[in-house]
Amino acid sequence: QDDVYTHVYTLIVKPDNTYEVQIDGEKVEGGELEADWDLLPPKKIKDPEAKKPEDWDDRATIPDPDDKKPEDWDKPEHIADPDATKPDDWDDEMDGEWEPPMIDNPDFKGEWAPKQIDNPNYKG
């Protein structure tokens, strides 16, 4: 603690490799020695010489090469409202050329992407 008083710091290490830190008899931290502290060397280390083969493929799925975009797919996201009419008080000279408001296109399907298939070359 960071103040002007004297404090009693206590570290308790238990036989099950857990620990507890107390300040003035109150627990402030605890846990497992192996998990919280780098006391032991790691059980496994990376082999610096290990490399993936050139033909290794990490992708579990790939785009289907036979899947083609449907002809009617490319529809705009918004279209001019077919029911909109030019207001009676619209003045082209004052207000500019009238354009109908845009509405969501019910035929819009979003961005097309080919379906995914299992990658025959996937090695995990």
Q: What is the mean pLDDT of each run of 10 residues along the chain (124 residues)?
A: 88 94 94 85 87 86 90 88 87 86 90 91 78
9-44 CB burial, b ≥16 within 10 A, e <16: eeeeeeeeeeeeebeeeeeeeeeeeeeeeeeeeeee
Nearest CA to 79 out of 55, 113, 48, 105 is that of 105
| Strands annotated E in 6-118 | 9-13, 18-23, 26-32, 61-63, 78-80, 102-104, 116-118
User: For a pLDDT cut of 70, what percent of the chain falls above it?
Assistant: 98
**pLDDT confidence of residue 13:** 95
**Domains in the chain: boundaries:** 1-39
> Is 77:108 a contact under the CB 8 Å cutoff?
yes
Provide the whole-model pTM.
Answer: 0.42
| Helix, strand, coil fractions of the chain, as percent rounded to 5 | 5, 25, 70
With 0-12 / 13-18 / 19 or more C-beta atoms within 10 angstroms meaning exposed / middle / buried, residue 62 is: middle
